[in-house]
Amino acid sequence: MKSIPKSAFEDFGNVEKVIKILRLVSEEFSGNYAVIGGLAVRIYVGEIRKLTPDIDLLIKPEVEKKIPFLFSENLRKNVFCDSVWFVGSAEGVQIDFQIAIKDYEKEIIESAEAFSIGDFSVKVAKPEYLVLMKLGVLREKDERDIVLLLKHGNLNLKKLFQVVKSYLPSEIDTLEQLVLISKLKFNQEF
């Protein structure tokens, strides 16, 4: 099992708070989740990717009811890009929970890779699925993350194209363009 160094969390300010939250998620959601978003990208590409001040999690609907009991601080429900999100915080760290309602989102959780953090592990969405999720939204920061994952994320390009063709075929041309860009942008920090 791969491990995540504590330095991966340094941009949050209080590393121990973030690790405490991830431990709670690991224990309470029992594999029914995957770390997504900027933190997941950073886990794959390293410190070249600066962190946003939140933890993004994709969770199965069956554990949704635990959110208000575990993370009730400033909790609110949002709908964004046909997805349902709960946004809350714990220990001063924002946590965004996306409910896995689409088939591919459940597949993301099932196929997530385990990474150790000290004496426990967390599930992290595979880089191919992170690219898929980011193609579905495609903001400027998502494009940057996709290029970083293509260059440094050690992903399987064949698997990536299969996943995108299956779930987001309208974005194949965009993916092809981003693959080309990733080959041109070497030795640049975003």
What CA–CA distance (Å, rounded) separates 144 from 119?
A: 32
- Cα-based angle 152, 7, 128 (whole degrees, multiple of 5): 30
Q: CA-CA distances (angstroms) from residue 29 to 21, 48, 142?
A: 12, 29, 27
Q: Which two tokens stand for residue 155?
A: 């992903």
* Statement: 2-184 belongs to CATH 3.30.70.360: no
Amino acid letter for position 158: K
* DSSP one-letter code for 53: S
- Beta-carbon contacts of 65 under 8 Å, excluding residues fewer than 6 positions away, are none
Nearest Cα neighbor of 130 from 101, 93, 159 is 159
DSSP 111-165: HPEEEEETTEEEEE--HHHHHHHHHHH--HHHHHHHHHHHHHS---HHHHHHHHH
Highest mean pLDDT: which range of 3-7, 32-36, 81-85, 138-142? 32-36
Segment 110-160, tens digit of pLDDT: 999 999 999 999 999 999 999 999 999 899 999 999 999 999 978 999 999
The structural domains of the chain, with segments of one domain joined by +, span 2-184
pLDDT at 190: 43
Segment 21-61, tens digit of pLDDT: 999 999 999 999 999 999 999 999 988 888 778 999 999 99
> What is the layout of strands, in order, in the sheet containing 33-36?
2-3, 113-117, 120-124, 33-36, 54-59, 93-99, 83-90, 73-80
| pTM (2 d.p.) | 0.91
